[in-house]
Structure formats: structure tokens, C-alpha cells
Structure 1
Amino acid sequence: MRKETIVTVKTAPVSPLLTADLMINGGKGLQEGTLLKLIDQRGKFVGKGYVGQQNKGMGWLLTSNEKETINVSFFREKLKQALEQRTSLFNDSLTTAFRVFNGEGDGIGGLTIDYFDGYYVFNWYSEGIYDFKEEVLEAFRKVTTAKGIYEKKRFAEKGSYIEDDDFVEGERAQFPLIVQENGMFFATYLNESAMVGIFLDQRHVRKAIRDKYAANKRVLNTFSYTGAFSVAAALGGAKKTTSVDLANRSRSKTEEQFSINGIDPASQEIIVEDVFHYFKYAVRKQLLFDLVILDPPSFARSKKHTFSAAKDYTALLTEAIAITEQGGVIVASSNCSTFSMKKFKGFIDQAFKRQGFKYQVLEEHTLPEDFKTINNYKEGNYLKVVIVKKI
């Protein structure tokens, strides 16, 4: 059994993310993976957690129950509860990819687990939680079976991804591994990098695009990655989709996604270019789109542009409005956790005022139900999607 290190805190944590300034000694000398027993300055028990450098924190609170031991049984119970809460998704024959464990939302900050048609991908966000790997895997084997397990070690200098073989145990998947989402097909590669081919948190948004907004529309999908939004739009009856992304691999990846859904990639437009350059080109050529999808990364850098969602989203949306047809729809999305939905809607309002147009909010989305969040860690509910009509 792991030894618990007693640490005195200034006040009881109000969030599961433990920060250095919460601790009397600033957390000095604590090693990654250290189990913590937190007490207040009067010696009263506050909680138990572990050391794992992530984001602006140095670890996570795991329990407020002094009698609870952080061991295989603890992890087993958390995993069991999480899997049971996703029963409806496991029973959905049209969806075979979703999140089964969402970090602090399911009780273990620093760990997420995604499901891909029988295979599981463990995402470890700090060396600290990775130190518990064997206990977590042992607990996982006790509550379910997997065709195979892959992992992503998402901790390194400056938050970069650690490249590795990624395979852990079971049988290796045949790639591409084709998964379903609301009846749409997507190619995934669990062994390729931190990003496996589809962002699972946008499931409901893709369905809305397909079912409500794409029919007979000219669609522009910016920062398109592997073209998942474009596939949804094409399956929804779009006249034509245009996918724009700076990454060279986006072309072949997007062609593959179209092909496995029975769509001829040649019938769609796939452009490898800086989105900011494309906006200028579209203005020069007087191109207009009926549906524009704007889902940039929180931070991106190209040869000529550095983009930060917190600072630059308003300007980006302003350019998108200029090439959106009157009566057209914009899917404005951000996964940046540093600002709220209220502030994001403020960005949208500013952008439309700059362009001199009014707008109507058609619907809003945050994280889907499998991306479970908790009220005392609002940063965990990072996704903000507002679908607006230009009027």
C-alpha cells in the first residue's frame, strides 16, 4: 500500500485541482505520484489526493473521506460507476465511439478514457497519474473486458505529446479502425498521435449539422482537421463542402473520411492552406457560403500567424461573417477553457457589431453527457458551441 504524505493546506480546497499556493510550504519537495493526506492548520483532515503537474495545478483531490484508501479498489469503484453511467451509449448500435471516463468529472483528475468499438484509449495527463498506471489497469480489468488497450502519455515539456508505440495490451487493432457516430462512419488511428482522427466531444454538433443545417447548403469547414464536420454536412445533403486546414495530412485524412461514408472526395473541395489566407482569398473572389463552421484550436501558430482563441476569436469570426450569405448560419465553436460561455457569446456579439449585421442564436452546446463535469471545476466544461444565423 502506498504511503500517504501529510501536507498542511491554508484552506480546504474548493476545486479538485490542487495548486501550490494552497499549501503552506508551496508543495516544495513533493514528487510526482506522491499520495497526499491534506490537513488544515488545526490538524483537521481535509482530503486525499496525489501530486501530478497539469495545467496550472500540481495535483488532484481524489476524496474527502478519511477512511477511503487510494488503491485498486478505489479506482475500480470509480471506473465501475463511470461505465455504468454510459450504458445507454454502449447499447446504441449507431454509435461506437465515446468517452467512458472524464477525469475529475468521474472522480480522478488527470485521466480520461475513450472507447472505440471495443478498444479503449487511456489518456494520462501527468507523470503523477501515470505512476498509478498498474493499479488503474488492474482495476479496469476487474470491471470490463477490452479487445485491446492503447494509451496516450500527454505530459512532457511545454505540454507536448510523448510519441510512443501507444499499444498497452490485448490485441492490436487493424487501422484504420472504423467507428460509428449516429450512423456516420469515421476512420480512427489509435496508434498515431495524441489526436486519433475524431474529436468525440463534438458528437451532438455533428448530428445537428447533418440533421438541421446542411441540406442544399454551400458549406465551409475551417480548421477542418480530418473533415468530420464536412462529412456530417455532406451526409446531410450539402450542395458542396469546402474543407480548409493548414496541415498537409488533412487532405488524405479528409478524403478517407468521405470515402468510407460512400462520398466521392472529388465531389468535395479540400484545401491545404492557412485559414486566414483563405478568408482573404474568399473575399477577393466574392465567395459566399450558407454554412460556415469555425472550430479553431485554442492556440495555433503558422509561419505568418499566431492565433489565441482568448484574444483573437472575435477577429476570426468577423472575417467569417464577411463570407457568410445573408440568412446563412455560422457554427462558432471553441474548446478554450480560459473563458466562459458568457464571454464567448460576447465575442460573437462584438464580431457581428463590427460587420454591421444582426444575428439570431439558433442553439447552444457544451460538452455531451459522456464528458461528465462537476460544478466546482468549471474549467472542465471547456466546450462552447453557439450556432447563429446572420440576419
Structure 2
Amino acid sequence: MEIQNLKTIEITKQAARKYSDGYPRLNVRDFVERYAGADGEFIRLVCEKSFVAYAYLAKQRNNDGWILATKEQAVPNQEFFRKLFTMAQIRRKAFYYQAETNAFRFFNGAGDGLGGITIDYYAGYYVFTFDNKGIYYQRAELYRAFAEAVPDANGVYEKLQFNVQKDALKTQHVSGQTAPEKLEILQEGLRLQVALNAGMLEASLDKRVLMNALLDGRAAAKIVLNLFSDDGALSIAAMRGGAFKTVNVDLTAKAMKQAAENFTLNGITPEKQELRALDVTSYLDYAQKHHIKYDMVIIDPPVFVRSKRGTFSLTKDYPALIVAALKTVKKGGSLVLTANTPTLTLKQFKVLLTDVFRKTGCSFELGDIFTAPEDFVLNKKEHVGSAFKSIVVTVG
């Protein structure tokens, strides 16, 4: 790509300082004159005719694109992207040789220098997740750069987080070999299945630190209720760490089937656990009416989910769900509460929990905190912490 082909945009002095300091999110309000470019367009930002950065345009929830580079010689082309992918691989070299884990985050958006895209590694296969149309429109160049940087990939898949085609949220094969219908991976020694061809990718990649705590005996001798249990990974970790029994509740029979298969893979008889395809609030109503109490309740909710009973939104409905779950925790028991969104910071999560427990009038103690592992590299200048966070609360 030739520099002269890029549109040059004048930005404010304040914006120039911000971007030069490493802030990665582009905002068109920083432009001196309005410019309505196309999604995916690469632009050149200047301040008083001096180069500041290269960026690309893309409408996302809270920004208008991403900064690509703040060095003028780092022109955004195939070679530029190859270097980004090569550096990501070097950073994660140790992960390729771990005996207990063979699935991890290979490229983490702005943390690795390219906001709007993540790449996950699953036992030789790579899955590109595109968060906006802008970077998706540049996918051909990205795939060429990736093939050059990582020539030994078994296969490449892509997943879209926006609707531009039918079944956009499902993965599709891009190049290389097609993965087995059910690909077995390892997470901290746990055997789990993912179905790349069907878009079933839940593999707890960002929950490995929490999984380790459960494996190390956090749930030893306890009866554990796991709400939004999905593929059962956290329950399997709890059982491997000495839990007495787990009760797993998720909305779909498909999730329960996947959890049962994962239990079996790990030498745990699924029939000795409880697997309930049910709305979590319905199950909590049932547990309360029958005075059932648990030693530990894990709540690992999605950001948003729709069921026959309505919708669940993490930002709106989590407090009420925690209050309902509290009624099923025995005195001295614990709640393991997670949130997986960058829009809710760890500090805000603590405030939310403190407010909820104070309003209920019960005694509580905020305990251990778990965040995403080191392969989920962050850009500190973005001022956004780990998307995944978990807090253990002891209930008095």
C-alpha cells in the first residue's frame, strides 16, 4: 500500500497527544473537519501537518475505528500485519509447549496492536473473530499476512460478531484442513470438546485462572450449583478438585449434552451429577421452594441471553439474579460470581456486588479475585482491564 493513497485527516492537538501516547480507539470527533469515510478505509492522521498515526475506520459500539501505528514508516500493509502476527506468536511461544493446555488466545485485539479482531488457537486450528465490518473488509490481506507468519496452521476459521450474512455469528472454514466434527482440546489438564464447524467454541479460554483455583481444592467436599454451566468446564474443574457433587443448569439441552460428554471425557460419570436444561431463575425458584441449600454457587452469565421467560442482560438483571441465588447458599457458603465484559470494570463489579449484598442485609466478605490469563494481553493505554473477572464472596 502506497502512503499517497491514504486519505490524510487533520486532528486536534489534544487528540494527537492521546494517540501518540498509545490510546488505540479512534473517535471522529477528534477530526478538525468532518470526514465520512468507508468502513475498513485506512487513513493517515496528522496534526499541523506532522504525522501522528495510521488508523482504520470502523463503526463499533464505543469508537469509530482503531489506531494501527504511530510510526510513519509502519505503513498498514501485508508486511505490517505479518509482523503483528509474528510478534503475537513470539509472545506466546511457551503456550505451544504446555502439556496441560493446547488452546489459548493467540491474538488479543488492541493488546497485540490491532483492535477489532481476536484470534484463538485450538490444538492447531486458528479462529479469527471479527468485531466490526471495517477490519473484516481487510480480511484477505490479513489472511495472507497470517499465512506467511504462521505457515504451520492446520486450518483457519472465521467468526463474525455482526450481521452481514446468514448465520454470521457461526464460524466458517477459511483455509487449510477442516477440523474434526468434535475437536478435543486441553485446558489445565481438563479434556473439552469444541465444534469449530458448528460454531460451538465455548472452551473457557479466559477462565483458566478460576479453573485452576477449583482444581486446587476451592470446592473440595462441597455441593456446587453451577448456573449458566454451558460446557461444564467449571463443574469438571470443581469435581477434579474434590467437590462432592455438581448441579448444572443451562438453558439448552445442547449445552447439557455437551457438558455430559465433557464429564465423560474426564472420567466423571454424568449420571452422578445433575444436568438441568432449564432457565436459571426457574431453577432458583424451585430450589428456594424446596429449601435446597448449596455450599457453593457459581454464576457465570453471558452478557445477554433470551429464553421463553424473557431476556437476561448482565448490566440490568445481574443484581436481581444474585439476590435470588443468595437464598440457595448455606451460611458460611460462597458465591463465585463472574462478569465477562470490558464495559464493567473490576472496580465497578466490586461496587455492584457490595451494593447488592448491603441491600439484602446479609453479612458478606469479598474474597479472591480471578481475571483472564496472560495470553489475553491488554493495551494499558486503553484504560480497560480484563474482560473476564470473577470474585468469590463468602456469605455470613
Q: Which runs of 5+ in 1 are unaligned?
A: none
For the structure 1 residues 22 and 304, does the alpha-carbon distance in structure 2 shift closer, same or farther, using more than 3 Å as the test? Answer: farther
Contact 2:208 2:372 in 1 (8 A): no
Please give the secondary structure, in 1, of the residue aligned with 2:111. helix
CA RMSD in angstroms, aligned pairs only:
2.0
For the structure 1 residues 328 and 26, does the alpha-carbon distance in structure 2 shift closer, same or farther, using more than 3 Å as the test? Answer: farther
Contact 1:219 1:291 in 2 (8 A): yes
Deviation of the 1:381 alpha carbon: 2.6
The residue type equivalent to 2:185 in the other structure is: V
Find 1:378's aligned residue among 380, 383, 386.
383
Find 1:89's aligned residue among 87, 95, 116.
95
Find 1:57's aligned residue among 55, 59, 63.
63
The residue type equivalent to 2:387 in the other structure is: Y
Contact 2:217 2:242 in 1 (8 A): no
For the structure 1 residues 338 and 73, does the alpha-carbon distance in structure 2 shift closer, same or farther, using more than 3 Å as the test? Answer: same
The residue type equivalent to 1:240 in the other structure is: K
Contact 2:334 2:395 in 1 (8 A): yes
Q: Which moved more, 1:353-362 or 1:244-253?
A: 353-362
Distance (Å, rounded) in 2 between the aligned partners of 1:355 and 1:94: 41
Deviation of the 1:27 alpha carbon: 3.8
- The residue number in structure 1 matching 2:9 is 7
The residue type equivalent to 2:248 in the other structure is: S
Find 2:26's aligned residue among 18, 32, 37.
18
Distance (Å, rounded) in 2 between the aligned partners of 1:161 and 1:335: 23
Post-superposition CA distance 1:335-391 (Å, at most 9, x none)? 132222112111211222233322233311222110111122234632221112223
- The residue number in structure 2 matching 1:262 is 267
The residue type equivalent to 1:102 in the other structure is: N
- The residue number in structure 1 matching 2:38 is 31
- The residue number in structure 1 matching 2:85 is 79
Post-superposition CA distance 1:163-193 (Å, at most 9, x none)? 5661111111112100001110000111222
Q: Does 1:336 align with 2:336?
A: no
Contact 2:256 2:277 in 1 (8 A): yes
Q: Does 1:119 align with 2:121?
A: no
Contact 2:154 2:177 in 1 (8 A): yes
Contact 2:221 2:244 in 1 (8 A): yes
TM-score (normalizing by structure 2)? 0.92
Post-superposition CA distance 1:188-219 (Å, at most 9, x none)? 111222x4132311111112112131211101
Deviation of the 1:44 alpha carbon: 2.5
Residues 231-380 of structure 1: pairs in structure 2 closer than 5 A: 231-379=236-384
Q: Which moved more, 1:94-103 or 1:55-64?
A: 55-64
Please give the secondary structure, in 2, of the residue aligned with 1:266. helix
Contact 1:155 1:161 in 2 (8 A): no
Find 2:201's aligned residue among 169, 192, 196.
196
- The residue number in structure 1 matching 2:137 is 131
Post-superposition CA distance 1:296-333 (Å, at most 9, x none)? 11223333333322233222212222211112121111
Q: Which runs of 5+ in 2 are unaligned?
A: none
For the structure 1 residues 199 and 26, does the alpha-carbon distance in structure 2 shift closer, same or farther, using more than 3 Å as the test? Answer: farther
Please give the secondary structure, in 1, of the residue aligned with 2:224. strand
Residues 171-182 of structure 1: pairs in structure 2 closer than 5 A: 171-182=177-188
- The residue number in structure 1 matching 2:149 is 143
Distance (Å, rounded) in 1 between the aligned partners of 2:312 and 2:177: 40
**Aligned-residue identity in percent:** 35
Distance (Å, rounded) in 1 between the aligned partners of 2:42 and 2:177: 33
